[in-house]
Structure 1
């Protein structure tokens, strides 16, 4: 769409908000089904003795520790993948099409599944092999060493993701001449915030979805601004500038390194609890040792349960950071009207519930409800107007 034809401001669409609430309710129910299935699956391997049996069967082929871990996880993970495939297909393909959000063809969905399975499998196996290698080498303090190694691994991933991983799923190209003025504005905005970026790139979100998104990816020299073509085509330059100002707020507030460190601390506590769980499991289930791969379902269950318990706390902290980034965006651009309009446009285009129930926001939302963010931006716009 020619940006000259985009309305300068927009309002929340009441009909789309009704659809957004319906879409959110269905997704919450699907999440509960997924959690129930995952928990039931992993506990079945423990209490029915399938985990020990699988390990015993694999030891007929190899006794090498690393290969034992690899084959065990491929089997238990592969079975769950196919059990969960109908739910994944409905949630990731059928439902978005039903609500007219998806533009993806079935061939594209299958391709994404294969790519995600391969990439996720490789990265996941690297992480698990590290954890089990440390478990064998340091049975008492493995959780501490594993957390430190994973911290380094996460920093490395954050650096290579923009150039090596993300291009596997989307095409990233620098903004062309038609958006040269916008690119200059965004680079100037980044400079005003004191943030180095390598460039401004657009990526082809439209091949999968009508939803819009943008952000900053990478750390240090690999940091770049990325804008989905769905946002580039539907938002005004002023709106895009305020959206990117929010993302720059995360850089200025050091949210990315803080998030990595906090995530590592959270992982450390989770691994310590997993160590306690594995020690108990050795006695209760008669595993050989904590590093026994047959105890893997117990490790997964403890970490999963821990993640559920800490989720509201992590989301609460995330909402606080997002609010700070909103405040920074408003200070940097002094354009509350454009930011409020951008948030309304996001709600309409992404089919996002702007006013969820309080318990839903508290439990599940990593960002403040869009209605609250819009209200804050509109208050800032009123103050700016009154001060002129």
Structure 2
């Protein structure tokens, strides 16, 4: 276990270059997605695809499934080279990834399967609401989204996450740590159903930990890369931060606010579908051929509101950081943990303000360490 860390200047130089490349890839991917969606609308591909599908079936459910799958795959295939470069080549180039090409390909297939299992029923539900509830479909869809968010938050630790990693209770060698974290959760009034280790190291050298699930599925999960490199005090302060989100009820608040955002975006989508029907010769809002217009509207709304969503997220993270400092009364461990995360995860500690404003859901490391330093002097 290494002593109290300081920011590694060489790692920070690499981190800035890595972050710059990842931002460029983000914007390239964003532009590519937008251009592909516009191409669908400009070149009349929706009508052509729907016409072709109608030669096989006139069943609304089958039409939605087939059209949605082909529309999604058109993006997945075109963006695969970019995904390969950003998700496999670049992390290896910067010595962050430990994943094999076979492992990466397996993750892509699992992600595709998960998208189908969750996304297809969601799409079918939206178009069923469009067909049967008329002008108020967007209200019902937002309510359904909120219920789905609650379900996924509960099921993720026991069904979804184990698809990608192996989870096991902490062994005897970490019995003291498990006891400390369980006691920490108890002081926060949060019942956890175990402390688990998972194999992050099969994909990355980065470290992470989380408090996942709701109710009976709530558990603490620690990446093996965190357990192997961080001190007990540092792990404790990381989990104290996660507990801060539960103390402040950030998860139900986040679900509620995401439902409000969904309500607004779906309302705008309903306006776009109503007005776009004539412009693009759709039969009406429930016409599956209008899916590209629907997707474009949601995407634009998400892009416009991204800085606001990130600002709200940073505010929640600051509150959780403050809770961690107050709960552990160990600002040095907190500062050490943030510094070690920056070094190990190749995270830019001092990004430009515009980058933070647009893209950061968490405060940069410099601000988090400064908060700990200020707390220490109080």
What SS does the corresponding residue of 1:165 show, helix, strand or coil?
A: helix
In structure 2, distance between residues paired with 1:13 and 1:328: 27
Higher mean Cα deviation, 263-272 or 122-131? 122-131
Higher mean Cα deviation, 201-210 or 151-160? 151-160
- Calculate the TM-score normalised by the size of structure 1: 0.97
What residue is the counterpart of 2:100 in the other structure? 105
What residue is the counterpart of 2:8 in the other structure? 13
What residue is the counterpart of 1:286 in the other structure? 281
Per-residue displacement from partner, 1:32-69 (whole Å, max 9, x unpaired)? 11011101101111111111100010011011111101
Matches within 5 A, 1:303-314: 303-314=298-309
In structure 2, distance between residues paired with 1:139 and 1:89: 42
What residue is the counterpart of 1:83 in the other structure? 78
Count of matched residue positions in the alignment of Structure 1 and Structure 2 = 378
Unaligned runs of 5+ in 2: none
In structure 2, distance between residues paired with 1:320 and 1:194: 22
- Calculate the TM-score normalised by the size of structure 2: 0.99
What residue is the counterpart of 2:61 in the other structure? 66
Alpha-carbon deviation of 1:195?
0.5
In structure 2, distance between residues paired with 1:107 and 1:286: 44
Runs of 4+ in 1 over 6 A off after TM superposition: none
Alpha-carbon deviation of 1:382?
3.0
Aligned partner of 1:116 among 108, 111, 116 = 111
Per-residue displacement from partner, 1:357-378 (whole Å, max 9, x unpaired)? 0000011000111100011112
What residue is the counterpart of 1:128 in the other structure? 123
What residue is the counterpart of 1:328 in the other structure? 323
Superposition RMSD on alpha carbons, in Å? Answer: 0.7
What residue is the counterpart of 2:232 in the other structure? 237
Per-residue displacement from partner, 1:301-323 (whole Å, max 9, x unpaired)? 00000000000000000000000
Alpha-carbon deviation of 1:221?
1.3
What residue is the counterpart of 1:301 in the other structure? 296
Unaligned runs of 5+ in 1: 1-5, 384-388
Aligned partner of 2:377 among 375, 382, 385 = 382
What SS does the corresponding residue of 1:226 show, helix, strand or coil?
A: strand
Matches within 5 A, 1:1-388: 6-383=1-378
In structure 2, distance between residues paired with 1:313 and 1:79: 30
What SS does the corresponding residue of 1:141 show, helix, strand or coil?
A: helix
